[in-house]
Structures are given as structure tokens and as C-alpha cells.
Amino acid sequence: MAHPVTVAPPARVTRDPASSRILTGDRPTGPLHLGHYFGTLANRVRLQQAGVELFVLVADYQVLTDQDLAGDLAGHVESQLADYLAAGIDPASATIFAHSAVPELNQLLLPFLSLVSVSELQRNPTVKDEIAASRQASVSALMFTYPVHQAADILFCRANLVPVGRDQLPHVELTRAIARRFNDRYAPVFPVPQALLSQAPLLLGTDGQKMSKSRGNAIALSAGPDETARLIRQAKTDSRRLITYEPATRPEVSNLVLLAALCQDRDPQQVAAGIGTGGAAALKRVVTESVNEFLRPIRARRAGYLADPGYLRRVLADGNARASDVAAQTLAEVRAAMRMSY
Ligand code: TRP
């Protein structure tokens, strides 16, 4: 059996792109940021350009795990669509869709729930972190079951590759278990998918913690030049003049070097050497310029899409229709395998 985690696409993807189908997605909680971009968006676009079929999910039902983030859901969905298209996802070949519009996907949750144990769900490390971070007095059942729903996201379209960030690995592991258990118990309906990690090292937020909108340490793709400059100005550094790339011992400085390097598509060591003894001020100047330069065309495309909400709605409606066809087909096979086609 192939190892579940791979940083470069497996050989078969390059040899025969049409043999792979990718499903991935994001919660519509606000604008996507550079952590999303370098962690997974860039990977998706690269694979799509290589000829792999892409399903991209606007995971609106997953937002319900955190009521604080729900806010203006319709606005978030629209902004996420604009981010996807601006980043280079091509809706002519990709299926971009929302959970809530694909009932047959959601129906897979019921048989899948029967294939996992409560203690398995309680052990999920990502869910545990999210519960700790949410500071809620009580935890909804959806918090524990959303990883099973995520398995339905992946398996409804029989995706075999899932480009994700590291924090999503427990969910892909669970998806693999559910696929195997279903196939063993009923009939071989599902491929066992592989997670695909980005080759880029993990990009942290401007405070050295995980980059996330709720921590206020994220640079959104939609951030203007001034906001970008402000965020980078506030970033944590240290007092040594010589700038180096040493992620283990100088995490905050190295993270800024990495950010500039990713934006310039250069090696972080070279970027650090270029700044030399310029200190934190020179480092921040380079990072701000690199990020703004990198984001300029993305911001321009994003603004263009947002100026045409009718187009964005059509992209989503088309994707929803395509995803629903695929989901109906899979559900029919699932029901047949379960001897429930009556
Ligand atoms: N949980 C993912 C996130 O928070 C979003 C997501 C939902 C997802 N369903 C998915 C990712 C299926 C990959 C595959 O970013």
C-alpha cells in the first residue's frame, strides 16, 4: 500500500494526470490568506495545470462548528470564490461547489457515521486543538462528527488525492479508514485517498503562531499594500542584526525570510544572505515589498471578479450542479452496495 502522505504528486499523477481526481476545500470564514496560498492553493493550481481533475469545496456546513465565525456567510462564500479564481483555479475544468447545495453528499454521512467509533472521534488531535482554541462552554456534536462529514466530501466524488495542510492529516486518515471499512463491509465502492502535503515549509503568522484569520496574524490575499505593511511592521523579530534562515532556533525571523522567499520563488538562505546585517528593519522592508509585488496581480484579478457577482454565482451554480450529478451516482452505488436500492 502506498504511503498516505506525499509531498510531491505520486508518479502516476505526472504519468497519467487523468487517473487522479482531487478534492479539497476551505471553510468560508473570511478571505483566504498567504498560509492557504502556499500551503495548498498553489498546489491545486499546479496540479490542475498538469491535467488533474479538481473538485473544490466551499465547506459551508463546516463553518457551523464555530458560531463566532459564521457572520456574513454569503459574503464569505463570494469572497472565497473570488480568491479561488484570482489564485488561478479555472472553473472551466474545476468543479467549485458548496456543501449545502449537494444533498446526496450529505446523505453519505449516515452510513459513514456507522463505521467509526465515538472514541476514535474523541481522539482526533485537530478536533481537540480546535475545541481548546474555541473557548466554548459546551462543544457541539458537529465538532466531533465534522471529520466524518469531511470523509463524505472526499469520497462522494471518489477523489484519490487530497492536497491539504498538516493539520488536516488526521481527517484524511479517518477518510481512508472509512473507505476501507465500507469496502470491506459492503462492496468496493471507494478508492482509498492519499493526502498531498505542500512542498513549501509551513508558513507561520506574523506572530510566529499558526497563521489563521482568528488570530489576527494572517496576511489575506485581499489585503491592500498598507494593511500588508502594517501587519509586517508588527511582526515579531529579534535584536540580532545578521539575518539568517534558521527555523529551529530563530522561528520568527526565519518565518519572515521564508515569506519573502516564497513570494520571490527563491531559496530562503539566499534571501537571508541578501539582507545580511541589515537587521529587522531591512528584513521587514524586503518582506513587505515581496508580498506586495507577489499579491499585486492576484489583488487586481480578485477585484475584477468581485465586481461581477453574477458571474461568481454562475460559477458556483454550475459547480453545484456538476457535484450533485456525481454525488447522486455515488449514493446510488452506496445504496446498492448496502442493499438499500428499493
Ligand atoms: N477542514 C478543512 C479546513 O478547515 C476544509 C475542508 C472541508 C476540507 N472538507 C474538506 C479539506 C475535504 C480537504 C478535504 O481547511
Evaluate whether residue 217 is within a structural domain.
no
The CATH number of residue 274's host domain is 1.10.240.10
193 in the same domain as 231: no
Tell me the CA–centroid distance for residue 292 and ligand 1, in Å: 28
Looking at ligand 1, which residue's alpha carbon is closest to its atom 2?
26
- What's the pLDDT tens digit per position in 66-94? 766 667 899 999 999 999 999 999 999 99
How far, in Å, CA of 90 to CA of 145, rounded? 31
Mean pLDDT of the chain: 93
- 133 assigned to some structural domain: yes
Residue to mutate, 5, 21, 22, 27, ligand 1, most ligand atoms under 8 Å from C-beta: 27
Is 124 part of a structural domain of the chain? yes
Q: Is residue 220 part of a domain?
A: no
- Say yes or no: 317 and 293 in one domain: no
Q: Do 118 and 232 have their domain in common?
A: no
Residue 260, pLDDT > 90, answer yes
Residue 322 and residue 298 share a domain: no
User: Is pLDDT of 3 > 50?
Assistant: no
Domain of 158, in residue numbers: 10-200+308-337
Residues 300, 319, single domain; the answer is: no
Residue 263, in any domain of the structure: yes
pLDDT over 60 (residue 136): yes
**Could you tell me if 260 and 314 lie in one domain?**
no
Q: Which three cell numbers stand for residue 332?
A: 446510488
Q: Which amino acids bring their CB within 6 angstroms of ligand 1? A: 23-27, 57, 59, 62, 150, 153-154, 162, 164, 168
Indicate if 158 and 65 belong to the same structural domain.
Answer: yes
258 and 312 in a common domain: no
Same domain, 62 and 81: yes
Find the 154 Cα to ligand 1 centroid distance in Å: 9
Same domain, 273 and 134: no
For the whole model, what pTM was predicted?
A: 0.92
Residue 53 lies in a domain: yes
pLDDT of residue 67: 67
Count of structural domains within the chain: 2
**Residue 163 alpha carbon, nearest atom of ligand 1:** 13
Strand-pair category, 53-58 with 21-26: parallel
Residue 188 Cα distances to 4, 70, 104, 108, 175, angstroms: 19, 37, 19, 15, 15
End-to-end, the C-alpha distance of the chain in Å comes to 36
Instruction: Assess if residue 286 is contained within a domain.
Output: yes
Tell me how far the alpha carbon of residue 198 lies from the centroid of ligand 1, in angstroms. 15
pLDDT at 17: 80
User: Distance, CA 57 to ligand 1 centroid (Å)?
Assistant: 8
* Whether residue 96 is found in the same domain as residue 27: yes
- Domain assignment of residue 63, yes or no: yes
Residue nearest to atom 3 of ligand 1 (CA): 26
Calculate mean pLDDT across residues 233-254.
Answer: 95
pLDDT digit string (tens) for 311-332?
999 999 999 999 999 999 999 9
Nearest CA to ligand 1 atom 15: 26
Closest residue by Cα to residue 144 from 167, 119, 163: 119
Domain at 196, CATH number? 3.40.50.620
* One domain for residues 171 and 241: no
